[in-house]
Amino acid sequence: MKSAALKGIGFVLMSIAFAGQSHAANWVKLSENGTSKLLIDKQSILEKDQLTRAWVKVEYKKAQINSESADKTYNLSKLLWYFDCPAQKSATTQVFQYMNAETVFSAGIDVKAAEFIEPVPETDLDRAMRYVCTRAQPKKQQETKLASKPLESKPSETKAQTAKTQENSPAEAEKKSEPAAAEAKPAESKKVEAKPEEVKAAPEKAAATKPTKGNTHAAHWTYEGKEGPENWGKLQPEFAACETGQNQSPVDIDATIDAPLKTLKGIQKVPAKEIVNNGHTIQANFKEGNMLLLDDTPFQMKQVHFHTPSENTIKGKPFPLEAHFVHADKKGNFAVIAVVYKEGKANAGLEKLWSQMPKEKGAPVPLNTKVTAQELMPENRDYYRFSGSLTTPPCTEGVRWLVLKTPMTVSKAQIAAFEEVLHHHNNRPVQPLNGRVVLE
């Protein structure tokens, strides 16, 4: 983990992190896909000073490259994440990386200097926050109830004492958790001097400058400049796949292989519930109920967002707009239906969304008009298929991509309206296929 704040605060050594009392970890799996598995230690969840913290670990199925040193690889990360549940923001304060049970890297930052940011939906950080905050809320309500009882009833005091003991050992969840061999070798941790451009680890965003108090709108990754696509993989360890991944998206669809692809089947009648400007794109979130059946697996439609110009290209040709309908199954695997738009007649479905498109970055706005996914897609559902990744950090691979062949139309005015709100293009450049095949 990198952070500009590390230089001023000091490096957190593993010998400190593993000091003090500990408890037996209780790891539960939150999600798993083709590249990694996310687990959280239920025993480590602790509330203090309006924050909730928890230890998590990510087990990788392929070795990852450390962003600070290309000769270091790891297949397991353990992180101490803090969550501001009311604000729905989070920060990473400690990171430990292992390769086959041997420590290869560790770093940390004081939580008071950490910058809390809003997780990207459906990332590991977002899943962990939803799990932790859902559990923390009933617990907080229980503590409030206990605190209102007469003084002779002291369960809350006992609970507070336990919490205090645990807080004195901020990484007690690590000491007895796997891999034990790695945790027995704190001396192997090497102190790394922070550089001004260093950033804190967080699975979906990164900051290139030292955070200042109250600076919650600083750019963490962008589409241009030092934090642009060519540097995403260097911003922090969790973004490494953006640089080292071999199955990245988007791609140029040129040479294809004929294959007996099944007709896309699903439900697309449930309308979108809200629209949001998150600073990177305009996104509409859907109510529960829209499904895609793919590879005999049901995928739930989560949201649709837009890119201008298009990210995927066909025979080298870009389009002025592209929509990504993001789906996820119960295990956290992603499937994306992509629709490209060519300039022509105004699109009626887009017009409904654009009429409520937020001009500034902020919270989601409820939609007052009914917009369904099928209004934003062509009737002809023939498609290209390939294996790829998310097109934004952390560039997670193992995503099933379905690019519809038939473009829809969008008017010049609608394109201009989108660009005026976003103020910049938001397309990642096409990535090499690296031997992948595109089926049609």
What count of other Cβ atoms lies within 10 Å of the Cβ of residue 157?
12
Instruction: For residue 10, give both structure tokens.
Output: 């000091």
**Burial class of residue 369 in the structure, from the number of CB atoms within 10 Å of its CB (0-12 exposed, 13-18 middle, 19+ buried):** exposed
Q: Are 301 and 121 in contact (CB under 8 A)?
A: no
At 302, the amino acid letter reads K
Residue 402 phi, psi dihedral angles, 5° rounding = -125, 105
Q: Which two tokens stand for residue 142?
A: 């229980």
* Helix, coil or strand: residue 340: strand
Q: Give whole-number Cα distances, 352 to 30, 271, 275, 320, in Å.
A: 36, 12, 11, 19
Question: What would the two tokens of residue 55 be?
Answer: 């230890």
Structure tokens, 111? 């939580």
The widest CA-to-CA distance across the chain, in whole angstroms, is 77
Angle 286-251-320 (CA atoms, 0-180°, nearest 5)? 65
Is the four-CA dihedral 210, 214, 215, 217 of positive or negative sign? Answer: positive
Phi, psi (rounded to 5 degrees) for 164: -65, -40
Cβ neighbourhood burial of 225 (10 Å; 0-12, 13-18, 19+): exposed
Rounded-to-integer distance, Cα 181 and Cα 161, Å? 31
* Token pair in block for residue 191: 């102190």
Q: Give the residue among 403, 400, 399 at the shortest CA–CA distance from 381.
A: 403
What are the catalytic residues? 280
